[in-house]
Amino acid sequence: MQDKPDLRNLVEPFDFVHTEEIKPEGSFIETAACFADIPGTVVLASGGNLDCARYHILAACPWLTFKAWPGSAIIEAGGSRINYQGNTLDALGLVINRYCTRDPDLPEPVAAGLFGYLAYDLKDEIEKLPRTAVDDTRLPVVCMYAPMIVMVCDILENRTMLCIPVWKATGEEGLERQRRWFFETVAGKGGSGRDFAGGAGGFYSPFTSKTYMEAVERIRQYIAAGHIYQVNLSQRFETGFSGSPYAMFAELFSRAPASFYSYVNAGDHWIVSTSPERFLMRRGDFVETRPIKGTRPRGYDPETDRATAEELKNSPKDDAELSMIVDLMRNDLGRVCAGGSVEVFEHRRLEAYQNVFHLVSVVRGRLAPQNDSVDLIRAAFPGGSITGCPRIRAMEIIDEIEPCRRHVYTGSIGYISFHDTMDFSIAIRTALIFNNRMLFSVGGGVVFDSDPKAEYEETLHKGRSVMSVFEGRKGAPAKQSRIWMNGMLVPESEASLPVSCTGFQYGYGFFETIRVERGNPHLLNEHLGRFTGSWRELFDLPAPDLSWDEIIRQVVGANDLEKQVCAVKLLAAAGDTRNHGTGPHIVVTAAPYVHRLEQAGKPALDLAVYPHPRHTPLASHKSLNYLYYYLAGRQAKEKGADEAVILNPDRTVSETNTANLLLVSGNIVIQPKSRHVLAGVMQAAVLKRLEEKGYETKRISVPLESFFEVDTVIVTNSLMGPVGARSVDGREIACDTEWIAGLRSEVLS
């Protein structure tokens, strides 16, 4: 593990920051839309009339990218890349120090720096915590960009500044190139689309009202036992997503503007945040945090509105929650601020937003001379208002109760400048969009006096701030795949195996894959013969008496696949050996099939030898214990090949990771000999057809070198039929693709 990354190979520090006042024609949201589809673009927008809603900021065209996962970081700039193993915040501090500038005339609040997010899970590099929640996104815990373009709109003074870093090496020419790109991009009025939609099925949460209330009760028990005073518990909602993430951002901003709207285009994922809460702000040595605790929905008429506001202001529970968090944040700032400088500037301020009231406190201090922005983050991250008190035990309980890691939710979004300024929001009311999904979480502080039902209902109300934007915008209904399981057609999402069954724990089971074309299973009897043989041998039970053709017809029809080629799988998994009478589980699935040659976009396949020979009696069956073959196929793809050649212990050839092999030399067809190998249904059909054509078949040991001595090599399985192989480990082999295509047409007809 290295002590610190060597940044000398990255681009040199810039010489100065060019600044000029500009007059954009459109609104800030419209101007930012021109850049929204460019990876690395960050938009920070301020809405409403509160005193911290002063600046709109656009950051675009990154010249440096900083992405980190726990314990490692990737820093890219100037065509160079550094892979760093170590503490993320240490690396972040080194980047900021390398590019710091002391120009006193730079416009406020930021002219150059890093823009992006710090995920909540960065906590694990600040504190030593058990990790018991699942990381189901595997996205960076830090994602920040240093932009070539920073546009700052001062709402108060109605003034817009354009800021561009300038290097000695490129000088005025480089500056003019960036200016021209900026103005041409704005003039082009291109950018993000206007449409977006959620999944047709609406929003899903792993919590039900019952399980969420049970979680609140568990926290109350922890409080009663003296573990904790307060925990911020959340639930995550998920839906499908299509269209433009920026369009969603713009729509939310138009509906209910708040002080800390954020949009981050991270290339393979997007962040849309509508937060009202400031986490940390720095201007020189001046620092500020504004924790929020206490929320009430706005009333539908002035009288109800006033009553709701008074009820929140006079709530003992909300007062206690906010006071606890204020004390926590005072202590956090006190760790890095000058002695005696930290003060509560304002306590329990009532702030009114479009849909809710909040109680807010303002805590300020003076940063000690020896500390910087990264020290401030390390002292206070993640914000106390969204963890609990004491913070470390609260975070442990959050990971224990919430099933998935939070990622950006309750982390922070904003910027760290290269000139001693910083502003981050708390990432609440924040959506993560990736893989055609949208995730967002909502929560609230749980104390001993909390009512579990009220806590659950509060999450639903807070969730409306994001959910409401999808009303009338649902996408086309997604077809739910259906499977046949243990005698019933059910949605795939509802099918499950008990974790105690040996089919799950040990891969104790087997499967068959059948090509079905326009509803007709190909070589069905041959597949069923192999399936029932494995059933009797592996389970030592009579094979099930089922009308497999009818079951296949039902599954194909349920998935609307009657008019195309599809892959049908028959799976059998052993039951729970501890519970006698729990027999094997049977599953039948169907999915569209695209031919391998069409997928690969080539006339024949490329092979790569898997270096680990195989010797197991399970190779005689299509065992669910398939990891060996999966890893072999993955390594082949890493080498640029399509299939992996599997070797016997004596290093002769056996098969590939998904198919059988045949070698043709003159009028002789060679079937590689293995002590344990799955007898292929399609392989048998191809051999039969070739024998009918007058070919002689032999089953002999085949050394790898034979691939380069025969007339052609055939790779065959039941889905793709016979196809040719044209190389092994990059070495070309003979391949008569036209002859094999004719053979394929014959055996698949």
CA-nearest of 14, 143, 115, 144 to 417 is: 115
Beta strands 696-700 and 55-69, pairing class: unpaired
CA distance 719 to 682: 9
482-511 confidence digits (pLDDT tens): 899 988 888 887 788 888 888 888 889 999
Mean pLDDT by 10 residues, the chain (749 residues): 70 94 92 95 92 94 95 91 92 95 90 97 91 86 98 95 95 94 88 79 86 94 94 93 94 90 97 95 96 81 85 85 90 95 92 81 96 96 91 93 93 97 96 94 90 90 84 65 88 81 87 95 95 90 89 93 95 74 84 92 94 86 85 94 95 95 96 91 96 96 95 96 96 95 94
DSSP string for residues in 74-90? EEEETTEEEEEES-HHH
What the block records as the tokens of 382 is: 């993640």
Beta strands 721-728 and 605-609, pairing class: parallel
- Name the maximum alpha-carbon separation found in the chain: 97
Determine the pLDDT at residue 190: 66
Q: Give the chain's domains with CATH numbers.
A: 16-470 (3.60.120.10), 482-593 (3.30.470.10), 597-748 (3.20.10.10)
Determine the pLDDT at residue 1: 44
Determine the pLDDT at residue 478: 53
Amino acid (one-letter) located at 401: I
Q: Nearest-5° angle of CA 475, CA 297, CA 469?
A: 15
Beta strands 230-243 and 196-198, pairing class: antiparallel
Q: What is the DSSP letter of 678?
A: P
Non-local CB neighbours of 240 within 8 Å, separated by 6+ positions: 198, 199, 200, 201, 436, 437, 438, 475, 478
Q: Nearest-5° angle of CA 414, CA 262, CA 206?
A: 105
With H, G, I as helix, E, B as strand and everything else as coil, classify residue 41. coil
Compute CA 55 distance to the chain's CA centroid, rounded to the nearest angstrom.
30
Determine the pLDDT at residue 747: 95
CA distance 452 to 554: 45
704-748 confidence digits (pLDDT tens): 999 999 999 999 999 999 999 999 999 999 999 999 999 999 999
CB 275 within 8 A of CB 291: no
CA distance 33 to 193: 9
Determine the pLDDT at residue 669: 97
What the block records as the tokens of 542 is: 């009579």
Question: Can you say whether residue 158 is alpha, beta or left, with left for phi > 0 and alpha for psi between -120 and 50 degrees?
Answer: left
CB 674 within 8 A of CB 646: no
CA distance 671 to 685: 13
With H, G, I as helix, E, B as strand and everything else as coil, classify residue 252. helix
598-617 confidence digits (pLDDT tens): 998 999 999 999 999 988 88
Percent helix / strand / coil, the chain, rounded to 5 = 30, 35, 35
What the block records as the tokens of 417 is: 């400048």
Q: Distance between the two ends of the chain, CA-based, in angstroms? A: 60
CB 263 within 8 A of CB 249: yes
Determine the pLDDT at residue 462: 83
The helix or strand, by DSSP H or E, that contains position 327, with its residue range, turns out to be helix 316-334
Positions marked active-site: 277, 293
What is the Cα Rg of the chain in Å? 31
Buried-exposed string 351-363: b where 16+ CB fall within 10 A, e elsewhere? bebebbbbbbbbb
CB 526 within 8 A of CB 681: yes
CA distance 531 to 642: 27
CA distance 52 to 31: 22
